[in-house]
Structure 1
Amino acid sequence: MNSAPLLQARGVTMRFGGVTAVQSVDFILGEVELRCLIGPNGAGKSTFFKMLTGQLRPTEGTIRFRGRDVTGASPHKISRLGVGIKTQVPNVFNGLSVHENVFIGAARRRSIGRARRITADTLARLQLEAIADRMVGQLAHGQRQWVEIATVLAQEPDLILLDEPAAGMNHTEVQRTAELIREINRTQALVVVEHDMQFIRMIARTVTVFNQGRVLMEDDVGQVLADQRVRDIYLGKQAA
């Protein structure tokens, strides 16, 4: 059995002029693992996410996917290697149907026949069949987020990176999003950057906590949420 990490960052640092946003971060993600990244605003987690997705090139350090150096590679190249990327703002075609959006995702690297089968399977898996024929631009915010998750999943990546997937959602939508992520995690690894602690409790197993550009701690979700340092720097600020 292959024990090599799916994703590995070593000594990753990001400087903007004289400001160090991320400092010497080490990070390892295993096959079909779900990892949540949390921390207060300015902690460095979003910058780290952008380095993983190729939106930023690290000042120092290396990022490897399945042992291949992807440090500073373009988002398009990283995607081709088997990484699905969903940013905060939905990147969907509002003038097309849900089915058409998901099909476009599936058809990027598959034959037409295969893409059709993937589209049908993805819509069924994420329970989007009831809205498959609706125009994406007419959907509620949460539904549009789910459609984009479906388009990413239809590309059959080994790893999916999600940036605040529950942002702007109501309680019902948050619960449904948690269900989708748990379903996807049966077959794919995920890294989820999120602020909503209720959502984190719904999905998390292992949590990596960022603070002041560094990893403060990394542990089981229960241990992390019970840690006084985390409560002081993050949960306390949120409650306040």
Structure 2
Amino acid sequence: MVAPLLQTRDLSMHFGGVKAVNNVDFTLAEGELRCLIGPNGAGKSTFFKMLTGQLEPSHGQVLFRGQDISRSYAHEIARLGIGIKTQVPSVFDGLSVRENIWLAASRLNSAERAKRLVDEMLERVGLSHAADRVVGQLAHGQRQWVELGLVLSTDPELILLDEPAAGMTHEEVLKTAELVREINRTKALIVVEHDMQFIRMIAKQVTVFNRGSILIEDSVENIMRNPLVRDIYLGKQAA
């Protein structure tokens, strides 16, 4: 059998007596897009941080194409082909959009190749018109797209996005959903998100976390109809 792109086995994170994540078994196939949802405190962020090397698990394994990365540092995980976009954009506010993306592209490419990549990324994330603007002067959504350009410039096989639609206008959310769908044509993604409208736009399969464990995994349509999910996550709004 071909190994999954990403897999966790009995993955756990305990803070003293608190089990933030408890014995999670999770599998992501090559090219898949999976959304992770759940109420506040469900363990999504802790799970995300273990996948990205920000937290070392108390127990269990994270496997990327069969290789154990549970105790790897974040930069080692990035070199393996996992791109990470955090909720707060990690960009250089004092540099232009073009300079930000060039810094990412030039890490792994020749100067000539990096220049071509920058132009490709600017077009891909829809910021060619703002290429020479200072990032710190951009709107929130545009700054998020700059960081997506940085991540894509390293050509990862798997991209992890933490609440990519947070704080965006409706128009920005629509564009971000379109961009995520476009990325998924060639890359696998895991998206941690609270915005259910955004999830409807991009998701096929959804994993629901609750109290540190996986409650259910199913299609987005079945998740939205599931009465237990509605009770613990959507609550009165769904009713």
Fold-level match, TM-score > 0.5?
yes
Map of 2:44 onto structure 1: 45
Map of 1:22 onto structure 2: 21
Map of 2:209 onto structure 1: 210
Deviation at 1:82? 0.5
Deviation at 1:123? 1.4
Map of 1:7 onto structure 2: 6
Map of 1:236 onto structure 2: 235
On the 8 A contact 1:37/1:209 being kept in 2, the answer is yes
SS at match of 1:186: coil
Q: How does 1:156-175 map to 2 (within 5 A)?
A: 156-175=155-174
Quote the Cα distance in structure 2 between the aligned partners of 1:183 and 1:86.
16
Quote the Cα distance in structure 2 between the aligned partners of 1:20 and 1:81.
29
Quote the Cα distance in structure 1 between the aligned partners of 2:67 and 2:174.
36
SS at match of 1:151: helix
**How many residues matched?**
239
Map of 2:132 onto structure 1: 133
RMSD over aligned CA atoms reads 1.2
Amino acid at match of 1:59: S
The answer to whether the aligner puts 1:100 opposite 2:102 as a matched pair is no
Deviation by residue 1:41-82 (Cα, 9 ceiling, x = unmatched) = 000011000000000011110001111110021111100110
Map of 1:180 onto structure 2: 179
Deviation at 1:140? 0.3
The answer to whether the aligner puts 1:57 opposite 2:56 as a matched pair is yes
Quote the Cα distance in structure 1 between the aligned partners of 2:115 and 2:10.
42
Deviation at 1:109? 1.3
Quote the Cα distance in structure 1 between the aligned partners of 2:4 and 2:108.
25
SS at match of 1:72: coil
Unpaired runs of at least 5, structure 1: none
Map of 1:36 onto structure 2: 35
Map of 2:90 onto structure 1: 91
Amino acid at match of 2:27: I
Deviation by residue 1:146-184 (Cα, 9 ceiling, x = unmatched) = 100111011100011000011111111111110110111
Quote the Cα distance in structure 2 between the aligned partners of 1:202 and 1:105.
29
Amino acid at match of 1:62: Q
The answer to whether the aligner puts 1:198 opposite 2:197 as a matched pair is yes
Q: Which stretch of structure 1 is more off in the superposition, 109-118 or 86-95?
A: 109-118
Task: Give % identity.
Answer: 65
Length-normalised TM-score, structure 1 = 0.97
Runs of 4+ off more than 3 Å = 237-240
Map of 1:116 onto structure 2: 115
On the 8 A contact 2:125/2:146 being kept in 1, the answer is no
Amino acid at match of 1:123: L
Quote the Cα distance in structure 2 between the aligned partners of 1:50 and 1:238.
29
Quote the Cα distance in structure 1 between the aligned partners of 2:160 and 2:187.
10
Deviation by residue 1:68-126 (Cα, 9 ceiling, x = unmatched) = 11002111110011000111111001111111111111111111111111111111122
SS at match of 2:179: helix
On the 8 A contact 1:51/1:72 being kept in 2, the answer is no
